[in-house]
């Protein structure tokens, strides 16, 4: 199970990389809008911080526009993966990128069939959005489970990336459902580290240690 950071914030990415748990990074236009500046510069820096796949999303609607943007991103660093939204033009662009040897992440997947089509077109990463399905009273994790089963059963050359993760339980469930990757907001990654019993246990050990040292010092 690989864990990607779902962020364009360089400070967050630096911190999580130091923790040794980051296998890659996903960005999207909304995440980029939060940090601003030059998208190219942000992507270059992220690719310097991690050698894992870094997803850069195209915003064009037409195939030629998607190809232009994606080829541009692919030249920024060898670990760039071009992110393309599921659509008729998106599938065509994904298949053209595959012919050119450019890896793609098909995003905005909300059904196993969409994921199957993206895999057939040649996407190396398939990104079903769990949280956004939960938001509309559907069971987002079902798409992860079905798509992971399809990929494994038919030995497709793609990985299922659980996206739109909202809380730590999503990560556990995605891992159990067979997702190859989950991409997490920094907040969720940090929440996974902590447990009230771990934090209180550390405080108790420190207090007991300090008391024992103080008693030993008092005895001389
Ligand atoms: C990542 O690739 C997706 O763009 C991201 O996980 C979407 O998350 P959201 O639904 O919380 O915006």
pLDDT per position as a tens digit, 46-70: 999 999 999 999 999 999 999 999 9
For the Cβ of 7 lying below 6 angstroms from any atom of ligand 1, the answer is no
Mean of pLDDT values over 184-201: 97
**CA dist list (Å): 176 to 80, 173, 214:** 28, 5, 47
98 band by pLDDT with thresholds 50, 70 and 90: very high
Which of 8, 59, 164 has the most ligand 1 atoms within 8 A of CB, as the residue to mutate? 164
Q: How far apart are CA 121 and CA 165, in angstroms?
A: 25
195 band by pLDDT with thresholds 50, 70 and 90: very high
| Ligand 1: nearest atom to the Cα of 185 | 6
| Ligand 1: nearest atom to the Cα of 166 | 11
Mean of pLDDT values over 40-46: 97
Nearest CA to ligand 1 atom 4: 28
Q: Which of 38, 106, 113, 109 is nearest to 76 (CA)?
A: 38
Q: How far apart are CA 56 and CA 90, in angstroms?
A: 14
DSSP assignment string, 10-76: HHHHHHHHHTT---EEE--HHHHHHH-S-HHHHHHHHHHH-SS-EEEE---SSHHHHHHHHHHHHHH
Share the mean pLDDT of the chain. 98
For the Cβ of 167 lying below 6 angstroms from any atom of ligand 1, the answer is no
Q: How far apart are CA 25 and CA 3, in angstroms?
A: 9
Q: Which of 128, 135, 142 is nearest to 182 (CA)?
A: 128
Report how far Cα 57 is from the mean position of its chain's Cα atoms: 13
Instruction: Inform me whether the pLDDT recorded for 4 exceeds 90.
Output: yes
72 band by pLDDT with thresholds 50, 70 and 90: very high
Q: What is the pLDDT of residue 39?
A: 96
Q: What is the pLDDT of residue 105?
A: 98
Sign of CA dihedral 79, 41, 62, 55: positive
Catalytic residue among 83, 187, 206, 219: 83
Which of 84, 183, 186, 187 has the most ligand 1 atoms within 8 A of CB, as the residue to mutate? 183
Confirm if 159 and 180 have CB atoms less than 8 A apart.
Answer: yes
Q: What is the pLDDT of residue 50?
A: 97
Instruction: Inform me whether the pLDDT recorded for 220 exceeds 90.
Output: no
| Ligand 1: nearest atom to the Cα of 127 | 2
83 a catalytic residue: yes
Nearest CA to ligand 1 atom 11: 164
For the Cβ of 28 lying below 6 angstroms from any atom of ligand 1, the answer is yes
Q: How far apart are CA 16 and CA 217, in angstroms?
A: 40
Query: Which domains does the chain show, CATH number per domain?
Result: 2-194 (3.20.20.70)
Nearest CA to ligand 1 atom 8: 164
Q: What is the pLDDT of residues 120-173, one digit of tens each?
A: 999 999 999 999 999 999 999 999 999 999 999 999 999 999 999 999 999 999
Q: What is the pLDDT of residue 189?
A: 98
Q: What is the pLDDT of residue 40?
A: 97
Instruction: Inform me whether the pLDDT recorded for 6 exceeds 90.
Output: yes
b/e 100-139 (16+ beta carbons within 10 angstroms → b): eebbbbbbbbbbbebbbbbbebbbbbbbbbbeebbeeeee
SS (H, E, C) 127-150: EEEHHHHHHCCCCHHHHHHHHHHH
Nearest CA to ligand 1 atom 6: 164
Task: Work out the percent of the chain whose per-residue pLDDT is above 90.
Answer: 100
């Amino acid at each position: 199970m690989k864990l990607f950071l779902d962020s364009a914030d360089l400070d967050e990415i630096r911190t999580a990389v130091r923790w040794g748990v980051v296998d890659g990074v996903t960005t999207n236009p909304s995440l980029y809008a939060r940090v601003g500046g030059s998208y190219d510069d942000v992507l270059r820096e992220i690719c310097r911080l991690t050698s894992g796949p870094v997803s850069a999303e195209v915003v064009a609607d037409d195939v030629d526009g998607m190809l232009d943007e994606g080829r541009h991103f692919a030249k920024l660093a060898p670990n760039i993966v071009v992110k393309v939204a599921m659509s008729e033009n998106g599938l065509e662009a994904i298949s053209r990128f595959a012919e050119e040897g450019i890896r793609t992440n098909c995003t905005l997947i909300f059904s196993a069939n969409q994921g199957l089509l993206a895999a057939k077109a040649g996407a190396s990463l398939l990104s079903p959005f769990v949280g956004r399905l939960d938001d509309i009273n559907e069971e987002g994790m079902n798409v992860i489970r079905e798509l992971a089963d399809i990929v494994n059963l038919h030995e497709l050359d793609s990985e299922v990336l659980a996206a739109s993760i909202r809380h730590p339980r999503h990560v556990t469930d995605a891992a159990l459902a067979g997702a190859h990757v989950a991409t997490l907001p920094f907040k969720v990654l940090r929440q996974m580290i902590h447990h009230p019993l771990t934090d209180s246990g550390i405080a108790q050990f420190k207090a007991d240690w300090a008391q024992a040292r103080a008693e030993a010092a008092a005895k001389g």
